[in-house]
Structure 1
Amino acid sequence: MKRLLLCFSSVLIKVALIAQSDNIPTLQWRPVYHFTPDKNWTNDPNGLLYLNGEYHLYNQQNPFENFWGHMSWGHAVSTDLIHWKHLPIAIPEKIKDSDTTWIFSGSAVWDKNNTSGFCKNGGCVVAIYTAHSPNRRNESQYIAYSNDGGKTFVNYEKNPVVDLNRLDFRDPNVFWYEPGKFWLMTVVVPDMHKAQFYSSPNLKDWTLLSEFGPQGYTGANWECPFLIQLPVEGTNVKKWVLGISAAGGERGVFEQYFVGDFDGKEFKNDNAADKVLPLDYGDTYYAAIPWNNVPGDKKIYIGWMIPNTQPTWPWRGQMSIPRDLSLKQTPEGYRLIQKPSSVITKSLDKLSDNVVSVANLELNNEEINPDKAGKIKGNAYWLDAELNVKPNAVAGFRIAQQKDEGGKVINETVISYNSSTRQLTVDRTNAGGKLNEHALKRTIDIEGNSNAVKLTILLDKSSLEVFVNDGEAALTTYIYPGEHADNITAFAAGGSAEIKNIKIRDLSNRGK
């Protein structure tokens, strides 16, 4: 997702153009265990690749300013998906005479067999990206190669490798398709709401295989596709998932997915053409793509969290928590499961400064602080809880909370479950900051008929991610609480509830 000026609604256009004229630091909102750039603007994750023990995260970046423009590929690496080392710009914008080429989104692969002929010492990294020319009003697909582990790239002299001679044609996502022994590219024609599939033996010569769409949600331009094969939990079945982002229509910021089969040429959707499956129920999650080349064929992806109109400085924009992907068979069909990656969760206790654990907490029309000892300092923590909410009651958590001396709420975000309607709600009415007033309350319909619900709540200064029932649903958003809005309470209203267990890990220093 790149051309904010052309694709987004007027609200999001303003987001892209906000400049920090006062350059006032907002470190109180800077995440500590999510990826953010050192400074300046970032958007889509690009070129996700695991190589030599490191997760490479390239990303759309403005190297000069705190708003969208001068699009280039930033670069960072991590061994644990929490601690990121920022590296120099990997692929900068190209300026030649009066023409400028922006480096839009794409992917990166490890060409271990040197199919491209670019590699000097066995394998090499090849990036596949969209070259956007504002002056020529053209988007086409370019490749570049790296023989130093992805630090610097050389553009292929015969670029472009795929060109439809049109403005809207972007975001190639490429991986090695083993059954056919070829490279497979998924790329979108945004205004036609179509994904195209191409094959290549060498990353240089591409053949169109088929098209998919328009299907699902078509209220905004399609962008940032990915195609991935996922296991169905508890079975030997594998299905293909096609992810598509689309922002600017009546759904606002939105990403959807399709489940089906891919035979090496065509993707066929299991569901009706008008069926819409949201990837995330929040108002910020976008442009998510998976990592290539992860050991054990592990499926991990990450998305961009689109900034609200609230200014931040010296950075703007961040990534979500990396998520493990799988599928689950439900009465309605196969559905996506996404959880915070086990690469992170296996090290959570080491990352935590303090941990609060409480079991069998009974609530009856009351509000209780589970952290009575005050171990959790600030708004960077990881909360896991299991609730049993009696019929007609609403229960959950009030986070990033501050009240005045009279008990009136100044700031809080309310995460609640209604067992009668089986709905989970995130209410940001009093969350603080400049938020989209049309998205202050977001609701998820929970499958099944149980009074119980499991929640994983990731609060990281200004970013909030909520995972429901072991990843059956996810909601990603922003909040901007005041300096002293750091209280956590559990509550029940309209009846009683039991918190079977709650564990809160303080990640303020994330194991520094």
Structure 2
Amino acid sequence: MHLPKQSVYVLTVQAMLRNKLITILLLLPAAKGYCQKQPVPTPLWRPQYHFTPEKNWTNDPNGLLFLNGEYQLYYQHNPFENKWGHMSWGHATSKDLISWKHLPVAIPEIVHPDTTTWIYSGSAVLDKNNTSGLGTKEKPPVVAIFTGDQPKQHKESQFIAYSNDNGISFKQYSSTPVIDLNKSDFRDPNVFWYEPTRQWIMTVSMVNEHMVRIYGSSNLKDWTKLSDFGPAGYTRNGWECPSLLPLVVDNDPKKVKWVMFVSSGGDHGPLIQYFVGDFDGTTFKDDNAGKLVLPVDYGDCFYAAIAWRDAPQNKKILLGWLQDGRRETYPWKGQMSIPHDLSLKTTDEGLRLVQEPSSVVTKAMGKYAAQKVLLTKNLPINDTRINLNKERPYSGNSYWINAEFEVTKDTKKVGFNIVENPDITKNVNVGYDAENGQLFIDCTISEMGNKSRQNLTQTAPMKPENGVVKIQVLVDNSSLEVFGNGGEKVISTMIYPDGNATNLSVFAEGKAAIKWMNIWDFNQKK
């Protein structure tokens, strides 16, 4: 068959294009690998005195125990990637809640040919009397109670695993799940021993019903429904990570009330709310009949917090996940908050939660930080800014400020400019707004690209005490936690300062004075 010259030309061009396409397709994988953006390490945002995994993703704290003189931290972890997925329980231990020993993954995801079970959030207990029969009385087991998420089945159930080597490694209990309602959103069991009725109590979240279900068990394996709490308080998003804690009132060990904590996605990001009431071994009754929304934290990153229940001196120490926001960090993603010592305080509005940076941490700080007392007597700072960098041992953004300010009717604002650049054109403002009666963090001129507009300024209502406001500012490279009036109010957020934005200053708008202040510096000598 003979073809016209034009047809031959067309076919020749088509062949050339086809060959070029084949060449491009063959080279595409190599080109993709060459062009793919490689992760860039971000050591300037790695915290110094907050927990982060050595590498890869973390979110919720899990299974908090005090065991053999060490604080055990299990945590949601992806052992393979720096993003959410392959949910397992990572593991670390500490004697002082500052320095951590990283251990192998304690409970890895369960992979079978027909299904995969991810190890979601939960708790762990030392079964001292071997009620479960999974250890011995001489060597009681550590039992982990967690949500097994099976994405292929769209189901979440409650599983248990046990350890006979002090919580280092776990075996799955053969008859798991121990509670299965065939629900897709049913998670985050938190378990404790309730001595008056001599049984284990579990709180677990009925996510979409905005309820906490309470179960009881004599052996950690067989569970009976006792009651439901909720809906109450904030219900515009699902409920997660519930826990029920007895807390001392007004520092009187004889006065105890129970507090129910519930995490939920709030209107402006993460929200943990709490309810104060009574627990009789079966039912939790809220003193406020579910009418109030009481935030644990007024910031945009504190979430999924649970407590060490068995810490020395009967302390209840809350630990939360600080969500990392919009910026990528590498080779890790996610960090924990500073641990909070919890108690209740009687106020004009009723009983309210008090959260102070844990005394376990503050007692150990001298081993890791250089303390510099900057001002130990009243110093007026009327309508001025005082640079504090020359007083600091080293340059950097890992430090802890304790301060008391005297405020008057002529005070507008008083506080600190942190993570300030040399030109004083970018910083974060932290302090007290006397005109509006608010503790505040203002990130407007430095974090515009990292936060939604509604979260650039974060506030918490607060009043002076006898003309004095107390402020603790915990700056740790990428995290910022502010405690007001001894922990009556807390605001936590994430920040991402430039490498040269390490200046620190104190300021006042109107008349104010520094009554007392010091800084613990965790920065390293360059």
- Taking structure 1 as the reference length, the TM-score comes to 0.92
Equivalent residue runs for 1:15-26 within 5 Å: 21-26=37-42
The farther-off stretch of 112-121 and 454-463 is: 112-121
User: Structure 1: how far apart are the matches of 2:465 and 2:361?
Assistant: 31
Paired position in structure 1 for 2:383: 365
Could you tell me whether the CA contact under 8 Å between 1:109 and 1:126 is conserved in 2? yes
Alignment partner for residue 423 of structure 1, among 435, 438, 445? 438
- The 1:82–1:234 alpha-carbon spacing in structure 2 relative to 1, beyond 3 Å, is closer
User: Structure 1: how far apart are the matches of 2:524 and 2:50?
Assistant: 12
The farther-off stretch of 464-473 and 428-437 is: 428-437
Q: Is 1:295 aligned to 2:303, yes or no?
A: no
Alignment partner for residue 522 of structure 2, among 475, 499, 507? 507
Paired position in structure 1 for 2:255: 237
Q: Is 1:491 aligned to 2:507, yes or no?
A: yes
- TM-fit CA distance, 1:206: 0.5
Paired position in structure 2 for 1:5: none
Residue deviations 1:457-511 (CA, integer Å, cap 9, x gap): 1000010000000010111101111111111111111x1110001101101259x
User: Structure 2: how far apart are the matches of 1:488 and 1:35?
Assistant: 24
Q: Is 1:382 aligned to 2:418, yes or no?
A: no
Alignment partner for residue 201 of structure 1, among 218, 239, 247? 218
Paired position in structure 1 for 2:15: none
One-letter code of the match for 2:128?
K
The farther-off stretch of 221-230 and 287-296 is: 287-296
Q: Is 1:136 aligned to 2:153, yes or no?
A: yes
- TM-fit CA distance, 1:420: 3.1
User: Structure 2: how far apart are the matches of 1:451 and 1:470?
Assistant: 15
Equivalent residue runs for 1:71-86 within 5 Å: 71-86=87-102
One-letter code of the match for 1:337?
V
- TM-fit CA distance, 1:237: 1.3
- TM-fit CA distance, 1:98: 3.1
User: Structure 1: how far apart are the matches of 2:192 and 2:463?
Assistant: 34
Q: Is 1:402 aligned to 2:418, yes or no?
A: no
Could you tell me whether the CA contact under 8 Å between 2:276 and 2:287 is conserved in 1? yes
Paired position in structure 2 for 1:11: none
User: Structure 2: how far apart are the matches of 1:246 and 1:281?
Assistant: 13
Could you tell me whether the CA contact under 8 Å between 2:422 and 2:500 is conserved in 1? no
Equivalent residue runs for 1:461-500 within 5 Å: 461-493=477-509, 495-500=510-515
- TM-fit CA distance, 1:421: 2.2
Alignment partner for residue 49 of structure 1, among 45, 62, 65? 65
- TM-fit CA distance, 1:450: 4.7
Residue deviations 1:108-133 (CA, integer Å, cap 9, x gap): 00001100001144311000000000
User: Structure 2: how far apart are the matches of 1:292 and 1:497?
Assistant: 41
Could you tell me whether the CA contact under 8 Å between 1:419 and 1:451 is conserved in 2? no
One-letter code of the match for 1:295?
P
User: Structure 2: how far apart are the matches of 1:274 and 1:290?
Assistant: 25
- TM-fit CA distance, 1:354: 4.3
User: Structure 1: how far apart are the matches of 2:302 and 2:323?
Assistant: 7
- TM-fit CA distance, 1:352: 1.5
The farther-off stretch of 170-179 and 249-258 is: 249-258
Could you tell me whether the CA contact under 8 Å between 2:374 and 2:391 is conserved in 1? no
Could you tell me whether the CA contact under 8 Å between 1:322 and 1:341 is conserved in 2? yes
- The 1:234–1:146 alpha-carbon spacing in structure 2 relative to 1, beyond 3 Å, is closer
One-letter code of the match for 1:414?
N
Paired position in structure 2 for 1:153: 170
User: Structure 2: how far apart are the matches of 1:398 and 1:448?
Assistant: 21
- TM-fit CA distance, 1:448: 5.7
The farther-off stretch of 62-71 and 119-128 is: 119-128
Residue deviations 1:208-230 (CA, integer Å, cap 9, x gap): 00000000000111000110000
User: Structure 2: how far apart are the matches of 1:447 and 1:193?
Assistant: 32
SS at match of 2:208: helix
Q: CA RMSD in A?
A: 1.5
- TM-fit CA distance, 1:100: 0.6
Residue deviations 1:382-423 (CA, integer Å, cap 9, x gap): 10000012224211110111142xxx51x2110121223211
- The 1:51–1:509 alpha-carbon spacing in structure 2 relative to 1, beyond 3 Å, is farther
User: Structure 2: how far apart are the matches of 1:358 and 1:349?
Assistant: 19
Paired position in structure 2 for 1:412: 427
Paired position in structure 2 for 1:258: 275
Could you tell me whether the CA contact under 8 Å between 2:157 and 2:177 is conserved in 1? yes
SS at match of 1:307: coil
Q: Is 1:27 aligned to 2:46, yes or no?
A: no
Residue deviations 1:409-450 (CA, integer Å, cap 9, x gap): 1x2110121223211211011234622332010011104675
Q: Higher Cα Rg: structure 1 or 2? A: 2
SS at match of 1:372: helix
User: Structure 1: how far apart are the matches of 2:103 and 2:214?
Assistant: 32
Identity of aligned residues (%): 52
One-letter code of the match for 1:395?
V
| Structure 2 gap segments, 5+ residues each | 1-35
Could you tell me whether the CA contact under 8 Å between 1:187 and 1:197 is conserved in 2? yes
- Taking structure 2 as the reference length, the TM-score comes to 0.90
Taking CA–CA contacts closer than 8 Å with sequence separation of 6 or more, which of the two structures ends up with the larger relative contact order? 1
One-letter code of the match for 2:302?
Y
- TM-fit CA distance, 1:371: 4.3
Residue deviations 1:301-343 (CA, integer Å, cap 9, x gap): 1000011111111100000001100000111111000011101
Could you tell me whether the CA contact under 8 Å between 1:217 and 1:274 is conserved in 2? no
Q: Is 1:346 aligned to 2:377, yes or no?
A: no
Q: Is 1:115 aligned to 2:124, yes or no?
A: no
User: Structure 1: how far apart are the matches of 2:119 and 2:63?
Assistant: 12
Paired position in structure 1 for 2:85: 69
Q: Is 1:314 aligned to 2:327, yes or no?
A: no
